[in-house]
Structure 1
């Protein structure tokens, strides 16, 4: 039986690299995407070129019915769901003093409500022996100024991890969170000058930025047979920053 993975945020950045990696590892993959159909189609092609089967499904992760429909599509196309990698997210930067609370609401809608909506469907519908991988960020520990809205939302994701792992007792389903450090994606480079990029790249003892393939490898470990004894954990994939 072919195992099936849903990857939200699968059309770009880290999510897209996860799609390609899981397809190469033998998964049938559902590429969840928010709005860019062209990028999602390209992610499907890359997955197929890696030897896997894939489909793209548009879904706002904060919309309960849309998330349920994405799981419906996975079950219809591939027979069930074994792994969910929830990489979709939203970032906004502001000091607390200057924060527009409507911006906070938008961040929480995607990062907190969206994680709960995806985790809820995963808990209801993943086959026994499955794996749910959510995404936080190493900024939760680094506590950079202006990152409070994003950090607070990702702290909520981490708080969910062990609770849900315990709620799924008896089903052999693991629940873990990957918390990347600075990673070389288009989103990371946006708005940063070279001096800022160099400073962030110098922070880890390994003295470089992470790559999407680094994060995809950590995700694939948790999704695969070698990660079955890791449960309820936050994996800080950041080269040793903290």
Structure 2
């Protein structure tokens, strides 16, 4: 039975990954900060799907939390989903620097270190996969550090995928648009200005992402709407991108 480790596994896209992979008979290692939510999610998954679920409470913005997850990954997993992430309320340069550094720790350092921890075991077995959850924001400029950190995730994932090509290991950046999750609420962001037709369901994002992973894609942009937005966005000057981004929301 294959094993998947998912960070940020108790809500949103991470929880959708857990449900989808459990339905595919994966054993799960769920990582999140809230131990009570982890235990509840594990109980529900075991009851519904009959799979083995391990919980690993850890804050990836701390050295202790990162080291704990690194240690578990060195024991071996077949799939790593680096999903943990968050947004900051406010815009650069008005967000406190400690909040910006925390974001970079979770979005960039954690992705780097957990990927490095998982790779040796995957190389030894000659198989494995890593999904790094980024965002469509990675392709557009904005007034926040969020898009810059997600651009790093995409670039890193593409570079890592090229490095392990031919080894039986796949690395992919998953870049969804606006998804109905707790993300905006937790960041105290007003999402009322986002048009209804831009919202995606977490389950659809996961389904599309895993399909693209199986196809060997290095970057996955779920949904035709966002594929078109990204394609058009590549032709639009950065200054205009930032203006549009401010108008429809982060």
TM-score, structure 1 as length reference: 0.82
Q: Which residue of 2 aligns with 1:54?
A: 53
**Does residue 153 of the first structure (1) align with residue 138 of the second (2)?**
no
Within the candidate set 194, 199, 208, 1:200 is matched to 194
The answer to whether the Cα contact below 8 Å between 1:94 and 1:149 also exists between their aligned partners in 2 is: no
**Counterparts of 2:139 and 2:223 in 1: how far apart (Å)?**
11
**Counterparts of 1:47 and 1:217 in 2: how far apart (Å)?**
18
Within the candidate set 135, 138, 146, 1:137 is matched to 135
**Counterparts of 1:65 and 1:32 in 2: how far apart (Å)?**
13
RMSD: 2.1
**Counterparts of 2:126 and 2:45 in 1: how far apart (Å)?**
25
SS at match of 1:240: helix
Q: Which residue of 2 aligns with 1:212?
A: 202
The answer to whether the Cα contact below 8 Å between 2:5 and 2:79 also exists between their aligned partners in 1 is: yes
1:154-206 deviations in Å (ceiling 9; x for gaps): 1111110121112223421110011111111122345455xx43x4243xxxx
SS at match of 2:45: helix
Question: How many residue pairs end up in the alignment?
Answer: 220
Show the 5 A alignment for 1:27-176: 27-33=26-32, 35-48=33-46, 49-61=48-60, 63=63, 64-71=66-73, 75=75, 80-126=76-122, 127-144=125-142, 146=143, 148-176=144-172
Runs of 4+ more than 6 Å apart: none
SS at match of 1:200: coil
Q: Which runs of 5+ in 1 are unaligned?
A: none
Question: Mean alpha-carbon deviation: is it higher for 210-219 or for 55-64?
Answer: 55-64
How far the C-alpha of 1:69 sits from its partner, in A, is: 2.4
The answer to whether the Cα contact below 8 Å between 1:129 and 1:172 also exists between their aligned partners in 2 is: yes
**Does residue 10 of the first structure (1) align with residue 9 of the second (2)?**
yes
The answer to whether the Cα contact below 8 Å between 1:6 and 1:32 also exists between their aligned partners in 2 is: yes
Report which of the two has the higher share of helix: 2
**Counterparts of 2:189 and 2:153 in 1: how far apart (Å)?**
26
The answer to whether the Cα contact below 8 Å between 2:138 and 2:149 also exists between their aligned partners in 1 is: no
